[in-house]
């Protein structure tokens, strides 16, 4: 017998910068303080916003991306994570209808909401506008009537009188209820730097900020009505495709770099590795002297190695431990910041070069004038940690740094199919390093392959 769908809301913005993450974090925290089991999600390829969700309710947030993942896989991951929750809160990406392409909804929050059959709460910025905001909300409702926009939250409200110039026109013109608002409060803005918000793991976001945010949400957003709206969700259930149908025995131990410098991982990718038989052993390239004992593989994700370059360079024992693991044939897989760390040197924003591990022939440097951003589909040029030669997967690239490119296809990890086959990343024995963050759910079998290769390389 199929279980009932988990109540859910999708918090979508009219555009980037309207306060989605702040409001989502506050709502998640406020619902958790009521004693509810909240499962947070983030649309799109984002690592930082989910860290705020985790801080708010103590539950890892999951990414739902309908460009990187098939609809079947997206539903599988959503259903698996939300099955024991009392309410799911999905934070959108950019504006409601923004996605991978300009003329389709693929990868957008709207596509995710329709896939999940979940109601949308539209977040609109009321700063420097009054009655005109009703026209904006009306346009969003009429743009795609198949999206279930069920309510509105206003951000940047200046006063009770300002709210009266915004709320009644919206409700009159659109028929949508305004379920609450957030006032203009600079003290509730989330700290940012060159890649966006600062991850909570760095300790910059203090408990006082979160407490005041939650109290503000409890005061000015109608949580009872939000929960009633959430009951409209009717998410379909699917069978497993990227997770095993039956529990798997432990096969391999994999060291995962997790500290202030490296913390960009899709939670579902880590869960898939464990489900297919991996024991994940966290370690810190910043402070640990050696890799965890007995690992057959090492996974170094993205993050901010440029912020901690001096400390990474100074930890010579860890760099040597990683070199020794590579020499012994253990599997090493690195993405973005991990690629920078495994290179020869990293030059920070001040122009100072720091010696890195030196396993791949690349030097990286920071450049505030050149942002590399976008979805990528890659084809493996040889057998690697995640893919066999000729197999494809989807991921995302987002970095301000630049690094030396591979000199030949024999040296490269991938051909980027979405960019005329340009060669990208590095392969050296059992090592694969790339700027592209791969979601292990984008191709069934990737997590299983990684675990099996690590099992074969166990010392």
Where is 447: in which H helix or E strand? helix 446-456
**Cβ neighbours around 417 below 10 Å, total:** 14
* Dist. CA 271–CA 391, nearest whole Å: 22
CA distances from 263 to 198, 301, 335, 410 (A): 12, 7, 11, 30
Residue 454 annotated among the catalytic residues of the structure: no
Residues contacting residue 331 through CB under 8 Å, at least 6 positions apart: 296, 297, 298, 385, 430, 431, 450, 453, 454, 457
Cα–Cα distance measured from residue 48 to residue 449, given in angstroms and rounded to the nearest whole number: 27
Q: Which of 397, 323, 385 is nearest to 360 (CA)?
A: 323
- 3-class state of residue 395 by DSSP: strand
H, E, C per residue of 304-322: CCCCCHHHHHHCHHHHHHH
Phi, psi dihedrals of residue 401, rounded to the nearest 5°: -80, 160
CB atoms within 10 A of CB 223: 17
Radius of gyration (C-alpha) of the chain in whole angstroms: 23
Q: Are 397 and 372 in contact (CB under 8 A)?
A: yes
Is 403 within 8 Å of 362 (Cβ atoms)? yes
Cα–Cα distance for residue pair 109/122, rounded to 1 Å: 11
Task: Tell me which residues are annotated as active site.
Answer: 336
């Amino acid at each position: 017998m199929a279980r009932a769908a988990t109540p859910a809301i999708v918090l979508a913005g009219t555009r980037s910068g309207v306060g989605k993450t702040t409001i989502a974090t506050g709502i998640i925290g406020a619902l958790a303080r009521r004693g509810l089991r909240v499962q947070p999600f983030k649309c799109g390829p984002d690592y930082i916003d989910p860290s705020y969700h985790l801080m708010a309710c103590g539950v890892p947030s999951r990414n739902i991306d309908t460009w990187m993942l098939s609809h079947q896989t997206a539903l599988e991951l959503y259903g698996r994570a939300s099955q024991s929750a009392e309410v799911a809160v999905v934070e959108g990406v950019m504006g409601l209808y923004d996605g991978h392409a300009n003329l389709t909804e693929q990868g957008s929050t709207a596509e995710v909401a329709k896939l999940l059959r979940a109601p949308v709460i539209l977040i609109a910025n009321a700063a420097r506008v009054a009655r005109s905001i009703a026209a904006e909300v009306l346009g969003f409702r009429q743009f795609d009537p198949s999206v279930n926009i069920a309510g509105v939250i206003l951000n940047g409200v200046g006063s009770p009188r300002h709210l009266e110039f915004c709320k009644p026109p919206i409700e009159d013109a659109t028929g949508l209820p305004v379920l609450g608002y957030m006032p203009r409060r600079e003290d509730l803005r989330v700290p940012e730097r060159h890649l966006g918000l600062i991850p909570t793991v760095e300790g910059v976001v203090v408990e006082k900020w979160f407490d005041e945010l939650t109290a503000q949400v409890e005061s000015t957003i109608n949580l009872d009505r939000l929960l009633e709206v959430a009951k409209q969700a009717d998410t379909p259930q699917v069978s497993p495709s990227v997770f095993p149908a039956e529990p798997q025995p432990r096969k391999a131990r994999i060291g995962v770099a997790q500290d202030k410098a490296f913390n960009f991982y899709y939670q579902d990718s880590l869960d898939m590795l464990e489900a297919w038989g991996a024991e994940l052993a966290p370690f810190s390239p910043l402070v640990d002297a050696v890799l965890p004992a007995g690992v057959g593989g090492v996974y170094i994700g993205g993050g901010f190695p440029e912020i901690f370059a001096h400390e990474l360079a100074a930890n010579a024992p860890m760099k040597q431990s990683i070199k020794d693991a590579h020499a012994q044939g253990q599997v090493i897989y690195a993405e973005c910041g991990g690629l920078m760390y495994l290179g020869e040197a990293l030059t920070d924003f001040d122009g100072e070069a720091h010696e890195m591990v030196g396993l791949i022939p690349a030097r990286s440097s920071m450049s505030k004038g050149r942002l590399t951003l976008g979805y990528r589909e890659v084809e493996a040029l040889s057998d690697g940690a995640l893919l066999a030669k000729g197999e494809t997967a989807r991921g995302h690239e987002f970095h301000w740094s630049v690094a030396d490119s591979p000199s030949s296809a024999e040296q490269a990890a991938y051909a980027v199919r979405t960019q005329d086959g340009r060669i990208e990343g590095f392969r050296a024995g059992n090592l694969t390093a790339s700027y592209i963050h791969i979601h292990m759910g984008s191709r069934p079998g990737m997590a299983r392959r990684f675990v099996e290769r690590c099992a074969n390389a166990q010392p």
